[in-house]
Amino acid sequence: MDHVLTLIAPPGALSAAVLRAARDALSALGAATGTPDWLAAAEAADLPFAGLAPGQADAAARTALPGAAVDIIAQAAEGRRKRLLIADMDSTIVTTETLDELAGQAGIKDRIAAITKRAMNGELDFEAALRERVGMLAGLPVEAMQRTWEETELMPGARALVATMRAHGARCALVSGGFTFFTGRVAALVGFHEHHSNTLLEAEGRLTGHVADPILGRNAKLATLKRLAAEEGIGLDATLAVGDGANDLDMIQAAGLGVAFRAKPVVAAAARARVEHADLRALLFAQGYRADEFVAG
């Protein structure tokens, strides 16, 4: 079988009946299907198939499973394991938008979060929106960043994702429209090889309300994906990109496996693969890793 449909659910939530319904949906369209392969009991399984394009298989399975808390990813079977991971940080590797949380230290979280929401859904220019939000933080003591960091939590599965891919030889990079203060700490905590982001400017112990140029935005994320792939001597088909906002969309669409993770509507609609129910370990299952191959971070 030249393709595989991976079904992933929260632990304990994937049943044989759900897998059977997906298989029947593919068969009804004339696809040949193989024996399901459980990657983790009651959590993730591969369904080999042939005779349908991945998009057709994905759509058929989703139609057959309306309302089910199951993530579905269809792709070619060959080359599933990727050699480069590019990950967004905010609302992807960590559970929050760190700029919004930093704004909470200034008492203006709601104002800044409203702008963030529109920017991440592609309604505002990312760079302009970033400058506007940073400008609203002028005068905030730099200690507020440390307080924000102390309240920041990792997304479940983040450590396992990076540790497992590193253990199998992949290069892992954190590429964020956020700020170096946070990406450096997240990269060290999770185990990324490197991090790329923006720099908040400060003077006399306070934020100036400016961000250093050039801003790492949508175009820069895509450029970083291409540059790191070239440095590794691999094609984009051997890369994995994951994110949730509009500034992630270009890199998600360019990567061999591009995943919209609990993403904004505009991103989820445009990405070839999306994860809405499972945690970040779903990206390992999508690459064909079994649960007993995961490395604890």
For the chain, percent of residues with pLDDT exceeding 70: 100
pLDDT, one tens digit per residue, over 109-128 is 999 999 999 999 999 999 99
Q: What is the pLDDT of residue 162?
A: 98
Q: What is the pLDDT of residue 46?
A: 98
| CATH class of the domain at 1-78 | alpha beta
Is the predicted pLDDT of residue 252 greater than 90, yes or no? yes
Measured in whole angstroms, the distance separating CA 54 from the mean position of its chain's CA atoms is 20
CA nearest to 262, candidates 276, 251, 278, 279? 276
Measured in whole angstroms, the distance separating CA 208 from the mean position of its chain's CA atoms is 31
The whole-chain average pLDDT of the chain stands at: 97
Q: Is 58 a catalytic residue?
A: no
The Cα–Cα gap between 263 and 248 comes to 10
Is the predicted pLDDT of residue 297 greater than 90, yes or no? no
Is the predicted pLDDT of residue 212 greater than 80, yes or no? yes
The single residue listed with the structure tokens 């291409």 is 226
**pLDDT grade for 195, boundaries at 50, 70 and 90:** very high
CATH of 81-297, one of 3.20.20.140, 2.30.40.10, 3.40.50.1000, 3.40.50.12170: 3.40.50.1000
Instruction: Please provide the distance, in angstroms rounded to a whole number, between the alpha carbons at the two ends of the chain.
Output: 33
Which of 58, 71, 90, 248 does the annotation list as catalytic?
90
pLDDT, one tens digit per residue, over 263-291 is 999 999 999 999 999 999 999 999 999 99
pLDDT, one tens digit per residue, over 57-102 is 999 999 999 989 999 999 999 999 999 999 999 999 999 999 999 9
Which of 46, 58, 71, 88 does the annotation list as catalytic?
88
CA nearest to 283, candidates 155, 121, 153? 155
Q: Is 88 a catalytic residue?
A: yes
pLDDT, one tens digit per residue, over 3-61 is 999 999 999 999 999 999 999 999 999 999 999 999 999 999 999 999 999 999 999 99
**Which sequence spans correspond to the domains of the chain?**
1-78, 81-297
Q: What is the mean predicted confidence (pLDDT) over 144-165?
A: 98
Q: What is the pLDDT of residue 178?
A: 96
Q: What is the pLDDT of residue 66?
A: 92
